């Protein structure tokens, strides 16, 4: 109805449209913005810069300018909440499709799936009348304890950049804005409102900003959300360096900067340093007729400051332009469709993305795929039955349905038994969502293990489904994990199952790496994610071979927590001392750190992922041995499917600069291509290297630099699996 009303309104009077340019959907947006701006009163201008409810901001009713409706994402459209409360509004028609959390999307290494993901999400947002999806998130994976890593795209800035751009393009193709978050340096949830990040400019530009830059300059993101933390002593939601100097000044961002909910703290900084839309500062509007919203930093305090001469009309108009531009791109975009919810196409897309996200970590003796016969399959573990769309903070969803791993396996096999094995205790009830899960178990932990072991002795194969969940201090907003190990005694349980049955498959469900002290005892290990509505079906598709696994890890699994560089510098490195966190790991995050520590062998490397088929690499070539600054070099390699099944793999290109004026990583990901091959088929994969791919950020000169000299192109199947290395020179 929202779209229909808009179309009828626009069509009512051609004469009115010609007189009121801002109402003409065919006119250039900048002309519409200036026309609308010229007609607004001072009070109307200030009003559109802040919230009027938990998730909406007003338009200008007098002029027929619509407001904006936000919704939490980034992997599904959040259910309706009360006007001023987080609790559910009690609707019965706001259940959505849950798509895989963004660690899962990143694990596909497939930009085409990222576009599909964004497109499907945009259709569901349109159906619900939402103008801005608060996502995707691209904060870099610095520590596996970060409770919000599951919402992000891994440890590598290039991978995150390549996946976020098509997501944004797919979403905004539906006339729904992406609000890329949390900008920037929000790499932990502990003390998230109070810690100040101390980081070198080099690490900022090389590691923590590239995905945001790509979102703006390549993806064309229409909005950006500031983060809670501080940088250089200023909150990120009104930060001169991040918002004015970099986002607007260096990158040319023309969209709206939105505060995270409660992320604004000061009118002077908000006015001067680039915040456009303020949300969530005080949200209980029920006690004084919603007047609390007028007390926001960009509300009456801003208005009074203008009237008293402390702030200028130019400062106000710059913000209003950004918000009007967002409105005309979204809520007053007459070309938007009507959308759909939980359609067959959305369900199919969710299942396809989820299956391609599953990573086969280990498969000794080709235990997987499982046979579709009358074998006795024992499924063990609470995560086999637990809903993973519930909890976790603002990304919690109210789904029409969620297929559990147990249900997915039962749909494929006839002889399936289940044992709990462990329990996490009480179920999660967040924002008054209660799906009626029964997770209590009267047995003691030792009895649950004993019962599972007894059943394992009788089974032909055991599938353990465990890992983390979305409770506080696991994968959850506003808290970090308290340890690297698995909770609820799972390590003991897995070891006991391995002793009872040698045909054991461990499925880890998480958004973070975990310790695996039992790894040598277990023949098959599968990493899956919070994979949404179709999680169970997608997992079963892979376990039984209907889908050949092709996911690759978007972050490194280290052996121990101490192997992560963020945890090698004491409390100053994480979680901080006296509200100060020091990124002494600098540019050496994830595999960059593992590479330079020659004795450090990861549990599973960045980019690792096995298949049910095998691939060979041969005939690596380079087009020439040297290139100029305005030239290019092409490298290629033949990849052959040498197995009996069709399968996909991701060919990865890393570049090395063996000698430079500043320390550089041993190698860095600079390109990748996911290919599908039939048995016996060969494909030549080609990568083109130009000078921009050879640069590092020289913080002394504040510029990107490519120094002449020798370089090496590594073609790889994973960060620790180099298939060919080719040398070339960059000439002066």
The catalytic site residues sit at: 260
Angle made by CA atoms 255, 158, 162, in degrees to the nearest 5: 60
605 close to 556: Cβ distance less than 8 angstroms: yes
Quote the CA–CA distance of 137 and 181 in Å, as a whole number: 5
What is the secondary structure of 349-387 as a DSSP string? HHHHHHHHH-EEEEEGGG-PSPPSSS--EEEE-GGGT--
Count CB neighbours of 705 within 10 A. 14
Beta bridge partner(s), residue 527 = 359, 508
- Count of helix runs (H) and strand runs (E) in the chain: 19, 26
CA distances from 195 to 474, 516, 569, 580 (A): 20, 31, 17, 5
Query: Coil, helix or strand for 6?
Result: helix
Structure tokens at 327: 């409105």
Which residues are 134's β-sheet partners?
A: 72
Look at strands 377-380 and 359-363 and give their pairing.
unpaired
* Cα–Cα distance measured from residue 430 to residue 684, given in angstroms and rounded to the nearest whole number: 50
User: How far is 650 from 643, CA to CA, in rounded Å?
Assistant: 16
Q: What is the DSSP letter of 208?
A: I
Structural contact between residues 317 and 311, judged by C-beta atoms closer than 8 angstroms: no
Distance, CA of 161 to CA of 728 (rounded, Å): 26
Q: What is the CA radius of gyration of the chain?
A: 26
User: Residues 61, 92: contact at Cβ < 8 Å?
Assistant: no
Burial class of residue 522 in the structure, from the number of CB atoms within 10 Å of its CB (0-12 exposed, 13-18 middle, 19+ buried): buried
State phi, psi for 574 to the nearest 5 degrees: -170, 135
94 — phi, psi (to 5°)? -120, 25
Give the whole-angstrom CA distance, residue 193 versus residue 698.
30
């Amino acid at each position: 109805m929202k779209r229909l009303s808009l179309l009828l309104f626009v069509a009512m009077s051609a004469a009115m449209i010609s007189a009121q340019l801002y109402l003409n959907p065919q006119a250039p947006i900048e002309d519409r913005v200036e026309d609308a701006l010229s007609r607004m009163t001072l009070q109307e201008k200030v009003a559109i810069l802040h919230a009027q409810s938990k998730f909406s901001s007003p338009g200008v009713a007098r002029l027929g300018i619509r407001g904006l409706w936000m919704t939490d994402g980034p992997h599904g459209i959040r259910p309706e909440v009360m006007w001023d409360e987080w609790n559910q509004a009690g609707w019965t028609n706001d259940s959505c499709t849950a798509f895989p959390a963004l660690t899962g999307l990143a694990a596909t290494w497939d930009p085409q799936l990222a576009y599909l993901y964004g497109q499907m999400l945009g259709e569901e947002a349109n159906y619900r009348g939402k103008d801005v999806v608060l996502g995707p998130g691209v904060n870099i994976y610095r520590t596996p304890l970060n409770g919000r890593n599951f919402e992000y795209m891994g440890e590598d800035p290039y991978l995150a950049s390549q996946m976020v751009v098509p997501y944004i393009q797919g979403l905004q193709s539906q006339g729904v804005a992406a609000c890329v978050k949390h900008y920037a340096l929000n790499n932990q949830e502990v003390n998230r409102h109070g810690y100040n990040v101390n980081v070198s400019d080099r690490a900022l530009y090389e590691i923590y900003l590239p995905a945001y830059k790509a979102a703006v300059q390549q993806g064309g993101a229409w909005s950006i959300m500031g983060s809670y933390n501080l940088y250089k002593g200023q909150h990120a939601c009104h930060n001169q360096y991040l918002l004015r100097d970099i986002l607007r000044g260096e990158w040319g961002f023309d969209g709206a900067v939105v505060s995270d909910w409660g992320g604004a703290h000061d009118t002077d900084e908000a006015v001067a340093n680039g915040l456009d839309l303020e949300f969530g500062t005080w949200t209980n509007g029920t006690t004084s007729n919603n007047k609390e919203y007028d007390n926001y930093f960009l509300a009456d305090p801003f208005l009074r400051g203008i009237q008293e001469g402390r702030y200028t009309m130019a400062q106000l108009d710059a913000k209003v332009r950004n918000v009007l531009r967002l409105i005309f791109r979204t809520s007053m975009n007459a070309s938007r469709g009507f959308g759909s919810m939980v359609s067959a196409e959305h369900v199919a897309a969710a299942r396809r993305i989820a299956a391609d996200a599953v990573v086969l970590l280990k498969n000794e003796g080709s235990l997987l795929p499982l046979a579709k016969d009358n074998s006795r399959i024992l499924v063990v573990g609470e995560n086999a039955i637990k809903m993973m769309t519930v909890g976790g903070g603002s990304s919690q969803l109210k789904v029409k349905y969620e297929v559990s791993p147990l249900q997915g396996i039962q749909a494929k096999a006839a002889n399936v038994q289940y044992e709990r094995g462990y329990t996490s205790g009480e179920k999660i009830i967040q924002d008054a969502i209660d799906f009626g899960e029964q997770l209590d178990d009267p047995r003691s932990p030792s009895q649950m293990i004993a019962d599972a072991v007894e059943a394992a002795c009788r089974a032909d194969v055991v599938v353990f489904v465990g890992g983390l969940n979305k409770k506080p201090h696991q994968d959850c907003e506003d808290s970090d994990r308290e340890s690297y190990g698995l909770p609820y005694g799972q390590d003991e349980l897995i070891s006991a199952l391995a002793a009872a049955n040698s045909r054991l498959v461990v499925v880890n469900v998480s958004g973070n790496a975990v310790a695996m002290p039992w790894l040598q005892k277990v023949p098959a290990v599968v990493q899956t994610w919070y994979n949404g509505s179709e999680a169970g079906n997608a997992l079963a598709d892979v376990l039984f071979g209907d889908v050949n696994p092709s996911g690759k890890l978007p972050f490194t699994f280290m052996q121990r927590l101490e192997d992560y560089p963020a945890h090698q510098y004491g409390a100053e490195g994480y979680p901080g001392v006296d509200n100060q966190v020091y990124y002494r790991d600098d540019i050496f995050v994830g595999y960059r750190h593992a590479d330079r520590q020659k004795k450090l062998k990861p549990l599973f490397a960045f980019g690792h992922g096995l298949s049910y088929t095998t691939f060979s690499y041969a005939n690596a070539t380079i087009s020439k041995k040297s290139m100029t600054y305005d030239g290019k070099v092409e490298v290629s390699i033949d990849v052959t499917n040498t197995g009996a099944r069709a399968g996909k793999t991701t060919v990865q290109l890393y570049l090395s600069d063996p000698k430079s004026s500043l320390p550089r990583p041993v190698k860095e990901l600079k390109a990748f291509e996911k290919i599908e091959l039939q048995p016996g088929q060969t494909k030549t994969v080609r990568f083109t290297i130009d000078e921009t791919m050879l640069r590092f950020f020289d913080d002394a000169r504040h510029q990107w630099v490519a120094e002449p000299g020798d370089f090496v192109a590594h073609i790889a199947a994973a960060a620790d699996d180099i298939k060919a290395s080719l040398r070339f020179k960059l000439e002066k």
